[in-house]
C-alpha cells in the first residue's frame, strides 16, 4: 500500500472509506481494533521479578550470601536464615524503589507526549498523537510533529523537515497533486508526509494512510530502543564518590577481618562480619535515592504546572542564574484587546469608532480576512493577536466566518516571526486583493501609497513620519501595534514573499496585552533569589520597554536592545554588553541562541523560554529550555527540558524553588546516610584497634542498614519546601556536593554517634556480659541513627524548620523504632537477632545516650546557625 502518492485525494478517501467529515467514533473504535495504537514498539520493559533478582547482582551481597550459607552448614543455621531474610527484605525494598522510580518516569513521558489535531465527526479536536488512526484527517501547522504517514489533501505553503527519514536537512515544499510515476523515493513523494518529520512552515491537511510500525519510520526502526534516562550529573558524581568510598570501606573491612583472625576468632565468622560491615557501610542506596527524590519532585512540579521532561533538569533548575523569557503570554496574559485605531489621519479609541465610515470599515474587514482566528460562541481559537481583531469585528457587526465565506481566500503567505508579516489573497467582487498585516516598522518599508477617505495618495515622508509618531505614541502605552496594507493583484496569480511590497497603507490597530498579575511579584522573587530576568520579544522596543518597566525587569541601570543592533555586533562585543541589557526587542529566534551563549560564556546557568519551531536550537542550547504548553509548538516542547502547562513566568520561579529544595534535600539525605555509616565503621574500628570483643553481630549491621537506608533517607529527601531557599543565591554548579565542610560535618556527626555507641558498649561490658554489651551498642547505634534523621532535615534547628512539618520522617522513625523494640523485647526475635534481655536501667541508658547526638546537634544549631 505504499503507492498512495499515485492516487488522487478523492481515490484515497474512497480507498480508506472515509468522508470529508472525518471518522465517526464508532469507526475509530472499529479501526483501533484493526490497526492498534499509533506507536512504535519499544523494547519490552523488565518484569518485576527480574528487577528483584538484579538486587542480588552486587558482588558483596553474593559474597555475603555465600558466607551465610557456609556458616549455616557449619551449624549457625539461625543467623544464616536471619541474614538471608534481611537481605531479601532489602532486595524487596530495592525493587519497590526501582519500580516506583520507573513508573514515575513513565508518567513523566506520558505527560510530555505530543498531541495531534484531527477532524472527527465534522469537528476539529485535539487528541494524543498515539490515538491517530488510518483514515483520520490531520491538520498540520508550523511547529507540529507529523506523527503518522499521510497523503496531503490541502497545502498552504506547507514545508516539512524530513531529515530524520532522509537525512536531508532542507525543508521539502509539499504539493497536493498526485504523482504519476513508479518507484518514487520517499524524499520525492511531495504529496505525502511521513511520521518523524516536522512542519517548518505553512499549514496543510492530510489524510492518514499509515500509523505505528507500518509508517516509513516504523519500518526503518523496527525496534525503537527505549530512550534510557541518562544519569544526572549528581548521580554520576555520587557514583564516582561511591566507588572511591567502597575501596576505603573494603580496606577497613579487610583490616578488621585480619585483626579478628589474628586474635584467634573463627575465620568464617570473622569473614561474615567483615562482609556485613562492608555491605552496611557502602551507601549503595545513594543513586536510587536521588532518582526517587527527583521523581517525587517532578510529580509535585507537574501539579504546579511545570512538566519536567528530563530528570537532570530538576537538578540544574536549582542553579539557574539567568532566565531569558518571552514577553507575550509568559510575562503578559496573552489576552489582547484592541484599544486604538489609526485610519484616515485620525486616532480613535476602540469604543468610539464610527461604524459608518467607509475606510474604518474596510480596515476592520481586512483585519478579519488576513486572519486565521475564529470565535465560536465563547470559544476563541487562534492567535490572541488575531482574536483581538475578530472581537473588533463584532463592533462593526462583521462576523469573521461570513466575511471569509463572501470574500474567499485563494492564497496566503503565512505569518512567521522572522518576517513579522502575514499576507492573504482574497477575492473581492471579481478582483483579487492581497492584504498584508504585520509589524509597523517592517510593513511601512513595503508601502508606497496610502489610502484616505479622499482616495489613494503617494506615501510621502511626512505621512511616514506621522505614522511612526503615532506608532511610538501607542507603543509607549505598552500597546502592540499592527499595520495593515493591501494591493490589487492580477487575476490568476498567486502571491509569494516577493509580492509583499508596493502596498497601500490603510491603518494601524493597537492592542493591549496586560502583564499577568503575578508577573511583577515573580520578577521580584527572581531578583531577590539572585537570578537575572531578561525579556526577549518580537514586539516593538518601546512596547517591550513599557511592559518591562511595569513588571520590574527593566531597572535603572539596565537597557533595551533591538535585534538589528545584535546583528551589528560580534559575539565578543555581545559578551561584554550582555550584563547591561535587560530587554531585547524585535528579535528573531536566531538571536536567542546568541544571547544564551553570551550569558553562558560568562559562567551562568541559563533558562530560555520558547514556543516556535525556530526556537528549538536556542531551547537546546540553554541549560534549561522551557517550552510553552499552551501556545508552544510540538517541536519546541520536544527540544525543551521543561514545559510550562500554563505558559506562566511565575511557574518557572516556582520550579526553580523546587529545584533548589530538591538539591538541598538530596544533600541532607546523603549526609544522613554517610554520617550514620561512619558511626558504625568508627565504632567497629575502635573496638578492633583496642582489642575489645566485636561490638555488633553481622545481623545487627544488616538490620540497621535495612532500617536507615530506606524509609528515613527517602523521608529526608522529600522534606517540604523551605521558603527561605529563595533568599539564597543560585548554587554554583562547579562546587562539588561533597566539599570539605560537608565532609567534615559528616565526620563530626558520625563521631558523635560513635562515641555514644561506644559509651553504651562500655557500660554494657562493665556488667560482665558481652552479649548485653553488644545488645546495648546495637540498640544505641540503631536508635541514635534513626533520631539523627531529625538533625539531617536542614541547616537550621527543627524548631526553626517546624517540628512536625515532615510527617514522613516521623513515620519512618516510628516504624524503625517499633521494629527495633520488637527485636529487643520479643523472645523468638531476640534469639534470632542475637540480643540479650535488658533491664530497665540498661534501656534507660540506651535511650539517654541515643538522644544525646540529637540534643547536642540541635543545641548547636539553635545557638550558632544564623536564621535566614
Ligand atoms: P514574544 O512571544 O517573543 O514575546 P511576540 O509574540 O510579540 O514576542 P512575535 O509573535 O514573533 O513575537 O511577533 C512579532 C511581531 O510580529 C509583533 O510585534 C507584531 O508586530 C507582528 N505580528 C504578531 N502576530 C502577527 C500576526 N498574526 N500577523 C501579522 N503580524 C503579526
pLDDT at 111: 63
Environment class of residue 807 by beta-carbon count within 10 Å: exposed (0-12), middle (13-18) or buried (19+)? Answer: exposed
- The CA 373 to ligand 1 mean position distance, Å, reads 14
Asked if residue 422 has its Cβ within 6 Å of ligand 1, the reply is yes
Asked if residue 592 has its Cβ within 6 Å of ligand 1, the reply is no
Q: Do 814 and 727 contact (CB within 8 A), yes or no?
A: no
List pLDDT tens digits, range 804-857: 999 999 999 999 999 999 999 999 999 889 999 999 999 999 999 999 999 999
pLDDT at 81: 83
Q: Please report where in the chains the cell 526553626 appears, as a residue.
A: 800
% of the chain at pLDDT higher than 70: 96
* 557-562 CB contacts, 8 Å cutoff, 24+ apart: 558/582, 558/583, 559/583, 560/584, 560/585, 561/585, 562/586, 562/587
- The CA 335 to ligand 1 mean position distance, Å, reads 13
List pLDDT tens digits, range 28-53: 999 999 888 888 766 566 788 888 88
What is the DSSP code string of 325-361?
EESTTTTB----EEEEEEETTEEEEGGG--TT-HHHH
- What is the Cα–Cα distance from 534 to 810, expressed in whole angstroms? 43
- The CA 420 to ligand 1 mean position distance, Å, reads 6
Higher pLDDT, 389 or 55: 389
Higher pLDDT, 99 or 505: 505
List the beta bridge partners of residue 435.
424, 486
pLDDT at 4: 86
Question: Which residue's alpha carbon is nearest to atom 30 within ligand 1?
Answer: 438
Question: Which residue's alpha carbon is nearest to atom 5 within ligand 1?
Answer: 538
Q: Do 337 and 388 contact (CB within 8 A), yes or no?
A: yes
Environment class of residue 509 by beta-carbon count within 10 Å: exposed (0-12), middle (13-18) or buried (19+)? Answer: buried
Q: Confidence band (pLDDT; 50, 70, 90) for 74? A: confident
- The CA 674 to ligand 1 mean position distance, Å, reads 54
- In this prediction, residues 421-432 reach a mean pLDDT of 92
List pLDDT tens digits, range 667-677: 999 999 999 99
pLDDT at 108: 64
* 241-250 CB contacts, 8 Å cutoff, 24+ apart: 241/738, 242/282, 242/283, 242/284, 242/286, 242/287, 245/282, 245/283, 246/278, 246/282, 249/277, 249/278, 249/281, 249/282, 249/681, 250/278
Q: Confidence band (pLDDT; 50, 70, 90) for 481? A: very high
Mean of the per-residue pLDDT values of the chain: 89
pLDDT higher than 70, residue 229:
no
What fold is seen in the domain 237-301+657-864? Calcium-transporting ATPase, transmembrane domain (1.20.1110)
pLDDT at 235: 75
Q: Confidence band (pLDDT; 50, 70, 90) for 246? A: confident
Q: Which of 326, 372, 611, 647 is catalytic?
A: 326
Q: Do domains 4-42+107-225 and 237-301+657-864 have the same CATH topology?
A: no
pTM value is: 0.82
pLDDT at 225: 45
pLDDT higher than 60, residue 239:
yes
Cβ-based neighbours of 30, under 8 Å, separated by 6 or more: none
Asked if residue 437 has its Cβ within 6 Å of ligand 1, the reply is yes
Q: How far from chain centre, in Å, is Cα 302? A: 9
Question: Which residue's alpha carbon is nearest to atom 9 within ligand 1?
Answer: 538
- In this prediction, residues 507-530 reach a mean pLDDT of 94
pLDDT at 295: 81
Cα dihedral value 157, 127, 148, 311, nearest 10 = 100
Least confident of 308-312, 370-374, 653-657: 308-312
Question: Which residue's alpha carbon is nearest to atom 20 within ligand 1?
Answer: 439
- The CA 329 to ligand 1 mean position distance, Å, reads 11
Asked if residue 16 has its Cβ within 6 Å of ligand 1, the reply is no
The pick from 323, 371, 414, 417 for probing ligand 1's pocket by mutation, whose C-beta has the most ligand atoms within 8 angstroms, reads 417
Q: Confidence band (pLDDT; 50, 70, 90) for 226? A: very low
Closest atom of ligand 1 relative to the 327 alpha carbon: 4
Asked if residue 385 has its Cβ within 6 Å of ligand 1, the reply is yes
- The CA 415 to ligand 1 mean position distance, Å, reads 9
pLDDT higher than 90, residue 858:
yes
- Provide CATH code, domain 4-42+107-225: 2.70.150.10
Asked if residue 591 has its Cβ within 6 Å of ligand 1, the reply is no
List pLDDT tens digits, range 540-574: 999 999 999 999 999 766 789 999 999 999 999 99
Closest CA to 235 of 316, 349, 139, 152: 316
Asked if residue 237 has its Cβ within 6 Å of ligand 1, the reply is no
Closest atom of ligand 1 relative to the 326 alpha carbon: 4
List pLDDT tens digits, range 323-351: 999 998 899 998 999 999 999 999 999 88
- In this prediction, residues 319-323 reach a mean pLDDT of 95
List pLDDT tens digits, range 104-121: 667 666 666 678 899 998
- In this prediction, residues 159-167 reach a mean pLDDT of 84
Least confident of 42-46, 268-272, 282-286, 552-556: 42-46
* Three-state SS at 798: helix
Q: Is residue 513 flagged as an active site residue? A: no
Asked if residue 538 has its Cβ within 6 Å of ligand 1, the reply is yes
Asked if residue 150 has its Cβ within 6 Å of ligand 1, the reply is no
pLDDT at 224: 45
Question: Which residue's alpha carbon is nearest to atom 25 within ligand 1?
Answer: 438
List the beta bridge partners of residue 505.
450, 485
- Superfamily of 337-512 according to CATH: Calcium-transporting ATPase, cytoplasmic domain N (3.40.1110.10)
Q: Confidence band (pLDDT; 50, 70, 90) for 221? A: low
Asked if residue 537 has its Cβ within 6 Å of ligand 1, the reply is yes
Please state the domain extents for the chain: 4-42+107-225, 48-101, 237-301+657-864, 306-333+516-647, 337-512
- What is the Cα–Cα distance from 390 to 398, expressed in whole angstroms? 9
- What is the Cα–Cα distance from 820 to 726, expressed in whole angstroms? 39
Higher pLDDT, 666 or 299: 666
What fold is seen in the domain 306-333+516-647? Rossmann fold (3.40.50)
Higher pLDDT, 505 or 282: 505
List pLDDT tens digits, range 679-705: 999 999 999 889 898 899 988 998 998
Q: Do 526 and 345 contact (CB within 8 A), yes or no?
A: no
Asked if residue 327 has its Cβ within 6 Å of ligand 1, the reply is yes
- What is the Cα–Cα distance from 55 to 847, expressed in whole angstroms? 34
Closest atom of ligand 1 relative to the 372 alpha carbon: 27
Which parts of 602-644 fold into alpha helices (H)?
616-621, 634-639
Amino acid at each position: 500500500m505504499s503507492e498512495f502518492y499515485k492516487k488522487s485525494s478523492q481515490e484515497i478517501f474512497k480507498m480508506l472509506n472515509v468522508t470529508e467529515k472525518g471518522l465517526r467514533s464508532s469507526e475509530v473504535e472499529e479501526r483501533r481494533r484493526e490497526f492498534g495504537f499509533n506507536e512504535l514498539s519499544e523494547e519490552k520493559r523488565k518484569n518485576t521479578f527480574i528487577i528483584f533478582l538484579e538486587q542480588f547482582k552486587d558482588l558483596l551481597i553474593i559474597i555475603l550470601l555465600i558466607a551465610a550459607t557456609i556458616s549455616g552448614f557449619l551449624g549457625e543455621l539461625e543467623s544464616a536464615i536471619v541474614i538471608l531474610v534481611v537481605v531479601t527484605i532489602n532486595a524487596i525494598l530495592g525493587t519497590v524503589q526501582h519500580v516506583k522510580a520507573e513508573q514515575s518516569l513513565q508518567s513523566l513521558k506520558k505527560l510530555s507526549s505530543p498531541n495531534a489535531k484531527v477532524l472527527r465527526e465534522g469537528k476539529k479536536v485535539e487528541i494524543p498523537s498515539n490515538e491517530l488512526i488510518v483514515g483520520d484527517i490531520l491538520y498540520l501547522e508550523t511547529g507540529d510533529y507529523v506523527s503518522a504517514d499521510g497523503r496531503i489533501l490541502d497545502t498552504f505553503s506547507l514545508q516539512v523537515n524530513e531529515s530524520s527519514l532522509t537525512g536531508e536537512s532542507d525543508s521539502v515544499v509539499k504539493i497536493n497533486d498526485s504523482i504519476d510515476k513508479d518507484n518514487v523515493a520517499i524524499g520525492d513523494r511531495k504529496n505525502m508526509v511521513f511520521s518523524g518529520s516536522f512542519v517548518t512552515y505553512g499549514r496543510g491537511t492530510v489524510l492518514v494512510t499509515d500509523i505505528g510500525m507500518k509508517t516509513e519510520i516504523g519500518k526503518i526502526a523496527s525496534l525503537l530502543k527505549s530512550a534510557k534516562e541518562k544519569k544526572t550529573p549528581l548521580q554520576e558524581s555520587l557514583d564516582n564518590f561511591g566507588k572511591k568510598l567502597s575501596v576505603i570501606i573494603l580496606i577497613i573491612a579487610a583490616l578488621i577481618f585480619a585483626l579478628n583472625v589474628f586474635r584467634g576468632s573463627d575465620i568464617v565468622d570473622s569473614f561474615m562480619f567483615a562482609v556485613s560491615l562492608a555491605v552496611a557501610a557502602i551507601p549503595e542506596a545513594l543513586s536510587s535515592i536521588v532518582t526517587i527524590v527527583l521523581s517525587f519532585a517532578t510529580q509535585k512540579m507537574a501539579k504546579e504546572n511545570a512538566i519536567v521532561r528530563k530528570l537532570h533538569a530538576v537538578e540544574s533548575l536549582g542553579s539557574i542564574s539567568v532566565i531569558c523569557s518571552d514577553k507575550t503570554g509568559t510575562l503578559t496574559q496573552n489576552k489582547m484587546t484592541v484599544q486604538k485605531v489609526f485610519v484616515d489621519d485620525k486616532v480613535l479609541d476602540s469604543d468610539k469608532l464610527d461604524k459608518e465610515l467607509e475606510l474604518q470599515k474596510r480596515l476592520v474587514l481586512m483585519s478579519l480576512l488576513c486572519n486565521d482566528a475564529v470565535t465560536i460562541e465563547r470559544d476563541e481559537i487562534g492567535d490572541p493577536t488575531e482574536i483581538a481583531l475578530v472581537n473588533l469585528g463584532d463592533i462593526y457587526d462583521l462576523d469573521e466566518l461570513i466575511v471569509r465565506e463572501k470574500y474567499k481566500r485563494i492564497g496566503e503567505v503565512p505569518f512567521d516571526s522572522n518576517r513579522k508579516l502575514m499576507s492573504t489573497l482574497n477575492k473581492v467582487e471579481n478582483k483579487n486583493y492581497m492584504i498584508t498585516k504585520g509589524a509597523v516598522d517592517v510593513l511601512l518599508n513595503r508601502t508606497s501609497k496610502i489610502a484616505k477617505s479622499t482616495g489613494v495618495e503617494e506615501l510621502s515622508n511626512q505621512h511616514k513620519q506621522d505614522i511612526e509618531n503615532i506608532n511610538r505614541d501607542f507603543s509607549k502605552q505598552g500597546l502592540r501595534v499592527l499595520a495593515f496594507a493591501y494591493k490589487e493583484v492580477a487575476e490568476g496569480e498567486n502571491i509569494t514573499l516577493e509580492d509583499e511590497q508596493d502596498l497601500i497603507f490603510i491603518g494601524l490597530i493597537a492592542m493591549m496585552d496586560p502583564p499577568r498579575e503575578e508577573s511583577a511579584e515573580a520578577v521580584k522573587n527572581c531578583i531577590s533569589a539572585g537570578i537575572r530576568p531578561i525579556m526577549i520579544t518580537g514586539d516593538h522596543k518601546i512596547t517591550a520597554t513599557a511592559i518591562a518597566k511595569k513588571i520590574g525587569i527593566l531597572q535603572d541601570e539596565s537597557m533595551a536592545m533591538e535585534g538589528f543592533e545584535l546583528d551589528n555586533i560580534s559575539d565578543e562585543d555581545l559578551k561584554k554588553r550582555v550584563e547591561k541589557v535587560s530587554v531585547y526587542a524585535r528579535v528573531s529566534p536566531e538571536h536567542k541562541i546568541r544571547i544564551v551563549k553570551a550569558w553562558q560564556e560568562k559562567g551562568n546557568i541559563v533558562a530560555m523560554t520558547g514556543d516556535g519551531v525556530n526556537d528549538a536550537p536556542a531551547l537546546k542550547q540553554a541549560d534549561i529550555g522551557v517550552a510553552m504548553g499552551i501556545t508552544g509548538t510540538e517541536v519546541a516542547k520536544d527540544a525543551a527540558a521543561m514545559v510550562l502547562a500554563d505558559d506562566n513566568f511565575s511557574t518557572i520561579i516556582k520550579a526553580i524553588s523546587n529545584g533548589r529544595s530538591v538539591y538541598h534535600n538530596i544533600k541532607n539525605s546523603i549526609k544522613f546516610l554517610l554520617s550514620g555509616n561512619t558511626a558504625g565503621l568508627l565504632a567497629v574500628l575502635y573496638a578492633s584497634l583496642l582489642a575489645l570483643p566485636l561490638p555488633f553481630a553481622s545481623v545487627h549491621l544488616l538490620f540497621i542498614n535495612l532500617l536507615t537506608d530506606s524509609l528515613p533517607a527517602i523521608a529526608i529527601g522529600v522534606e517540604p519546601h523551605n521558603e527561605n531557599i529563595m533568599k539564597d543565591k543560585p548554587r554554583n554548579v562547579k562546587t562539588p556536593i561533597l566539599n570539605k565542610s560537608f565532609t567534615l560535618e559528616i565526620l563530626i556527626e558520625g563521631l558523635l554517634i560513635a562515641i555514644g555507641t561506644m559509651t553504651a558498649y562500655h557500660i554494657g561490658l562493665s556488667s560482665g556480659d558481652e552479649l548485653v554489651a553488644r545488645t546495648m551498642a546495637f540498640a544505641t547505634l540503631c536508635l541514635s541513627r534513626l533520631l539523627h534523621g531529625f538533625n539531617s532535615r536542614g541547616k537550621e534547628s527543627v524548631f526553626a524548620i517546624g517540628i512536625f512539618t515532615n510527617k514522613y520522617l516521623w513515620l519512618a522513625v516510628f516504624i524503625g523504632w517499633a521494629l527495633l523494640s520488637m527485636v529487643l523485647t520479643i523472645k523468638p526475635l531476640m534469639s534470632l537477632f542475637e540480643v540479650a534481655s535488658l533491664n530497665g536501667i540498661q534501656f534507660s541508658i540506651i535511650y539517654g545516650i541515643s538522644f544525646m547526638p540529637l540534643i547536642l546537634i540541635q543545641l548547636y544549631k539553635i545557638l550558632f546557625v544564623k536564621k535566614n
